[in-house]
Amino acid sequence: MNMPLSPSAPEAAGLLDGYTHTIGGKAVESERAFPVIDPATGQPFALCPDASRAQLDAAVAAAARAQAMWRHTPLAARRDALRAFAAALRQNRDDLAVLLTREQGKPLHRAQDELDRAANAIDILTGIDIGPEVLRDDASGRVELHYRPLGVVGAITPWNVPIVLATPKIAQALYCGNTIIVKPSPYTPLTTLELGRLARDVLPAGVLNVLAGGNELGQWITEHPGIAKISFTGSVATGKRVLAGASSTIKRVTLELGGNDAAIVLDDVQPREIAPRLFWAAFHNSGQICMAIKRLYVHEAVHDELCDALAQLAREVKVGNGLEEGVELGPVQNRMQFDSVQRVLADTRGRAEARILAGGHALDREGYFIAPTIVAGLGEGTPLVDEETFGPVLPILSFNDVDDAVERANRSRYGLGGSVWTQDLDRGAQIAQRLEVGTAWVNHHLGTDMLLPFGGAKESGLGREYSGMGLKGYMEPTVLKLPAAVRSIGRPTPRP
Identity (one letter) of the amino acid at 258?
Answer: G
Crossing angle for the helix pair 162-175 and 190-199, to the nearest 10 degrees: 30
Q: Measured over all CA atoms, what is the biggest interatomic distance in the chain, rounded to whole angstroms?
A: 86
Residues contacting 2, CB < 8 A, separation 6+: 214, 215, 336
* 328: annotated active-site residue: no
- Rounded to a whole number, what is the distance in angstroms from the first to the last CA of the chain? 68
Q: Are 186 and 3 in contact (CB under 8 A)?
A: yes
**In whole angstroms, what is the distance from residue 359 CA to residue 370 CA?**
8
Q: How many CA atoms lie within 13 A of 42 on its CB side?
A: 10
Q: Which amino acid is at 312?
A: Q
Which candidate, 134, 138, 99, places its Cα nearest to that of 16? 99
Report how far Cα 8 is from the mean position of its chain's Cα atoms: 33
Asked if 68 contacts 54 with a C-beta cutoff of 8 angstroms, the reply is: no
Beta-bridge mates of residue 439: 417
Distances, alpha carbon 241 to alpha carbons 213, 224, 253, 257, 298, in Å:
17, 14, 12, 12, 36
Q: Respond yes or no: is residue 290 known to be catalytic.
A: yes
Active site residue: 144, 194, 223, 290, which one? Answer: 290
State the catalytic residue, choosing from 103, 144, 194, 256: 256
CA 209/CA 272 separation, integer angstroms: 48
Residues labelled as active-site residues: 256, 290
